Amino acid sequence: MPQTLTPTEHRVLAAIDMDGLIAYLSELVAIPSLGGSPEENLAQEHVAAQLTRMGFEVDSWQIDLPTVQAHPACSWEVAREAALGVVATLPGAGDGPSLLLNGHVDVVPAGDVASWRFPPWQASIENGRIYGRGALDMKSGLCCAIFAAKAIQTAGIRLRGDLRIQSVVGEEDGGLGTLASLLRGHRADAAIIMEPTELRVAPAQAGAHNFRITVRGLAAHGCVREEGVSAVEKFVPIQHALLELERRRNARDHGPLFMHYELPNAICIGTVRAGNWASSVPDTLVAEGRYGIAVGEDPLLARHELEAAVAQAAADDSWLRDHPPTVEWWGGTFDPGATPVDHPVVAELASALTDATGAPAILNGMTYGSDMRLLVNVGQIPSVLFGPGDIRRAHCPDEYVDIADLRAVTRTLALTVLRFCGVV
């Protein structure tokens, strides 16, 4: 145990209820809170009930969807008839900085359940890991925050600044829930978002915008295919152009936080749909993907760069020249976001991590999209990503988180809250 902990800090760390955390995480995993499903709001109610029991002042409200969706920073992919906002406040004495801990309850679909070894909608524990959809991304991080706060209460500590726990819907499809919380006025002097960072302290996050490219060909019966133009064949030069664009963009200097990434701003074609009959020349191909955007880069200029690359590839092709592919931007629109590495929330988190775990803090940028850019860019709240587990285990079968990570993150969050908000 490091020597730098105060007796108060020792008391708080000792009060962390890991069994309770795992049990509560298991309850949340058992709610299939897919984005847009009724269970997404059930999970919110479950979190609100827990925070109410803990004595937080809980603001739980029906989000006014049309108003939020009219905001220029709003993006979403799934339809919602109702969405619940939940922000719980543990009021401080009023003479310290406030801290916001943000986590989302929505999860992505389980996909083909046959490819899971464990049931997706039930927490399974094996060899120190908890498996299940959302066990990693990011019900675990949210539980760490709740149980860090619980330990502070159990230890009888009164904070100087307010502590807020923000539980949100809609992160996976664009961040509607966090934006709604900001628009409702829930703010703080700094924020931590408990997304999976492998315990890295991440004060910067690259962006990712979803694109859709539609390539038009010319239909013909397959037996006279030379009289048609295959949209599948005409997509090949577009593919090449995107790979070349990705190479160019990633050859640029992205700074020390991103230097360990091979492709800090990946361009990923995620889906392709073309044609509807085996024996016809396909006249349409639709490809959807994600376009990585660098920290500090203007997202609109970045979009133009992709559009120009597609247009150039089209100009070099005799058919595409006269039938240019279209580029649309849709759904998830995660701008990049960053907080100065010397901001107190970054420094406190880094030293708390070392004190809580004995390991040196590593500062990294993250390359996946999250709600960080909303807190930073829209809310002007200095924010940092920090959470258990590896994003590579998210969105795939047998998603899991290590219990050791849960413990490390909960301890680190508890110390960070004590130090950032201050203790009366």
Question: Would you please indicate which residues are annotated as catalytic (active-site) residues?
Answer: 106, 171
Distance CA 173, CA 33 (A): 13
Stretch that binds its own copies, among 8-16, 138-146, 211-219, 340-348 (CB under 8 A): 211-219
Under the binding rule (CB under 8 A), the answer on residue 224 touching its own copies is yes
Per-position x/- string for 349-378, each x denoting binding to its own copies as judged by CB under 8 A, each - no binding: -----------------xxxx---------
Count of residues engaged in binding its own copies, rule: CB under 8 A: 57
DSSP strand pairing (267-274 vs 201-205): unpaired
In angstroms, the Cα distances linking 202 to 148, 196, 270, 347 are: 20, 10, 26, 11
Choice from 108, 125, 311, 363 touching its own copies (CB under 8 A): 108
Name 167's Cβ contacts closer than 8 Å, sequence gap at least 6. 44, 47, 48, 51, 86, 87, 88, 103, 104, 105, 142
Rounded to an integer, what distance in angstroms lies between the CA atom of residue 391 and that of residue 276? 35
Alpha carbon 38 to chain centroid, angstroms:
21
Minimal distance, residue 103 CB to its own copies, in Å: 19
Touching its own copies, residues 255-294 (CB under 8 A)? 262-263, 266-282, 285, 287-290, 292
Is residue 278 within 8 A of residue 298, CB to CB? The reply is no
Should residue 230 be labelled a site residue for its own copies when binding is judged by CB under 8 A?
yes
Distance CA 285, CA 272 (A): 7
Which of 34, 51, 159, 206 binds its own copies (CB under 8 A)? It is 206
111 binds its own copies (CB under 8 A): yes
- Residues 126-145, one symbol each (x = binds its own copies by CB under 8 A, - = not), give --------------------
Among positions 289-328, residues that touch its own copies (CB under 8 A) are: 289-290, 292
Q: Please identify, using beta-carbon distances, which residue of 368 and 400 lies nearer to its own copies.
A: 368
Rounded to whole angstroms, how far apart are CA atoms 10 and 149?
15
Cα 18 to Cα 8, 311, 321, distances in angstroms: 19, 55, 62
Query: Is residue 61 a contact point for its own copies (CB under 8 A)?
Result: no
Rule CB under 8 A: which residues touch its own copies? 108, 111, 206, 208, 210-212, 219-227, 230, 232-233, 236, 239, 262-263, 266-282, 285, 287-290, 292, 331-332, 366-369, 391-392, 394-396
